[in-house]
Amino acid sequence: MIVKTAQGRVRGTVERGVARFLGVPYAAAPYGADRFAPPRPHDPWAGVREARSMGPTPPQVPYAGGLEKVLPSVIIHGEEVLNLNVWAPAEGTGHPVMVWVPGGALTRGGNALATYEGSAFARDGVVLVSINYRLGAEGFSVLDDAPANLGLADQFAALRWVRDNIAAFGGDPGRVTVAGQSAGGGAVAALLAHPSAGELFAQAVVQSGPLAPGRAGKARRITRLMAKELGVRATREAFARVPPEELLACQTRVLAKGVGFGVVPGDELVPSDPGTALLAGAGAGIPLMMGHTAEEFRLWTVPTGKIDKIGRLHVLAARVRFRDFAARRGASSGDVFGALVTDALLRRPMNTLADARRGRTWMYEFAWRSPVMDLGAAHATELAYVFDTLDSSDAEMIGGPGRPRELADRMHAAWVRFVKDGDPGWPAWDEGRPVMVFDSPGGGVVRTSGSP
């Protein structure tokens, strides 16, 4: 199957009623003269470009420290990292579109992961677009003479590409939902807070993503530490002289010191703190679905063994830091500490935002507990259920055997309904604070009006 885009024709495949186009560039390769520069449109090509295999992934290293036991990594070398995949119904036009922004702490991940295979969405009448964007130092360095938030700029470029080209794949550019999980969910919050959000998408989904990027100083710190490690100035010219593989190696060493990348407020892309802007009414007219897993923290504490090292002092420190403490009978110090952190970073901010957007926001919680390493309802355990990719090796890795098919049917159907109709199938947030709990067996809408 051949489709004509603004840059040229691409050839995909069709199987069982699903058209698949993989590794389609939405912007020029961000190397050479374009390194540490805003994304620019890809040059036109002659003839037909093959789009039947995944494109290169942004530079990254596999998960380590225990996380590699439950989180897969896919690394495909090459410079054309600003690419996207499209799964679409093979017939018909005007289909709603969901653009997926992968997570991975802004240092890992990408659209080649088996979990994000989009055939189930296309099967159910939705065009699924999954994107790559620059990660780590290539996408989120804070350099003296270069724009910040280049990875976010890539996401804007991908959304513009969708607006301009998705009709050729049978999608409706006026019915685009942007969705993301973890760091991808945080990016969606920043996109939603932007003044031009309504020009690029009509709805949004934030899964386990922070609504605020944190302090700008932390994002700048890792760039300064890397510059010191490399023995160069924190400038575009100096960083661009460092080969990508050397920059990645330096990034890996510096990240081990406990710092991390983030979105930096104060420029055209992120005029102000997204969380504050959203509370003040940014994106208020755009329907939003958001939520988290019941035991987010267990992803970082169980596979790594850290859960057994968290004691009463950590809990007391969290109580002081977050000004809250909810004792749980029988829970370990690690569980209590993790619950406090999850409440402070995700549940409370999301509930507060939902209170400010009553009638236009739907909340959920994923509560099914994975038996793998006793992960429970940890961060990222819901992804295969949203995409209905339970048969993938990725789903086996984090969910183990006996994954409940009926839960995937329900959860995937809710995302499809939201993308199609703007209503996932349960009441919008109101004074009763309804939350759809996805679990198996059980689950259903829970009113949380007494919760903070």
Residue 296 is a catalytic residue: yes
SS (H, E, C) the chain: CEEECCCCEEECEEECCEEEEEEEECCCCCCHHHCCCCCCCCCCCCCEEECCCCCCCCCCCCCCCCHHHCCCCCCCCCCCCCEEEEEEECCCCCEEEEEEECCCCCCCCCCCCHHHCCHHHHHCCCEEEEECCCCHHHHHCCCCCCCCCHHHHHHHHHHHHHHHHHHHHCEEEEEEEEEEECHHHHHHHHHHHCCCHHHHCCEEEEECCCCCCCCHHHHHHHHHHHHHHHCCCCCHHHHHCCCHHHHHHHHHHHHCCCCCCCCCCCCCCCCCCHHHHHHCCCCCCCCEEEEEECCCCHHHHCCCCHHHHCCHHHHHHHHHHHCCCCCCCCCCHHHHHHHHHHHHHHHHHHHHHHHHCCCCEEEEEECCCECHHHCECCCCCCHHHHHCCCCCHHHHHHHCCCCCHHHHHHHHHHHHHHHHHCCCCCCCCCCCCEEEEECCCCCEEEECCCCC
Active-site residue, from 182, 208, 370, 392: 182
Query: Does 194 qualify as catalytic in the annotation?
Result: no
Establish whether 440 is a catalytic residue.
Answer: no
Q: Of the listed 295, 379, 392, 412, which one is catalytic?
A: 379
Please give the positions annotated as active site: 182, 296, 379
